[in-house]
Amino acid sequence: MDTHVRLVTAISVLIFILMIPIALLNGVYGFIPDIVFFIILTLFYYWMFDTFRMNLPIFTLLIIGHILHAGGIFGWYYVSPVSVQWDHLTHIFGAFPYALLFFRWMEQWMDEKFTKKNLLLLFAIFLAATGVGAVVELSEFIGYLQLGAGEGAFMFGPGDGIAGKEGSDLIDTIGGGWINEGWDFVYNTVGIVIGMVIMIIIRAVRRPRR
């Protein structure tokens, strides 16, 4: 593991630590457990760097995906700083690097030419990356059942639908937050497919010509 990986890890952890007092100052306490979890995930990625056959770009993109979500401390889930809803952006860029991660890890078992085994591995990559998104949605649902409405990934709030009585009526009528959950999976899928296509192209370009 080279110095650049250690440097990115240190900078990322520092960024997350600095986000905690900002969350406190902005009164968005619900994001603090998310940020602490992202610090743990960053250290986990560092620890598993060689096991997952990661490279620096994939490692960095994984952390950037978490930083984008933590950007919710600035109220971006309420008012996005870009033309796309912040929730959609975080799901695309959150799922995207997991497609890269699982592709690079499973690539070691792929045949040089396209075979049925490669097709099954591609399907496994898609399911693995989708599974990460499913675990996130499950944690949000369990968090909602235990904690109710609020900020952050573990409560029902901005980016999930409309909280309060109006939101309850919406859920009863057309699905409310669960409509949002469906869109979350859609944008996860967009990020995953883009990631897989990029890795397939890179693999094709790298393959030696005969």
Per residue in 38-58, pLDDT (tens digit) is 999 999 999 999 999 999 999
State the pLDDT at residue 150. Answer: 54
State the pLDDT at residue 165. Answer: 45
Counting Cα atoms < 13 Å in the Cβ hemisphere of 100 gives 21
Helix axes 116-147, 86-106, angle to 10 degrees: 140
Is 70 exceeded by the pLDDT of residue 176? no
**Cα first-last separation, the chain:** 33
Structure tokens at 158: 């901005």
Count the neighbouring beta carbons within 10 Å of the beta carbon of residue 1. Answer: 13
178-182 — which CB contacts under 8 Å span 24+ positions?
180/87, 181/137, 181/140, 181/141
Count the neighbouring beta carbons within 10 Å of the beta carbon of residue 89. Answer: 20
Structure tokens at 199: 């890795």
Counting Cα atoms < 13 Å in the Cβ hemisphere of 27 gives 0
Per residue in 88-135, pLDDT (tens digit) is 999 999 999 999 999 999 999 999 888 999 999 999 999 999 999 999
Helix axes 86-106, 56-70, angle to 10 degrees: 160
Is 90 exceeded by the pLDDT of residue 207? no
As a whole number of angstroms, the distance between CA 78 and CA 114 comes to 45
Question: The whole model's pTM is what?
Answer: 0.85
Is 90 exceeded by the pLDDT of residue 155? no
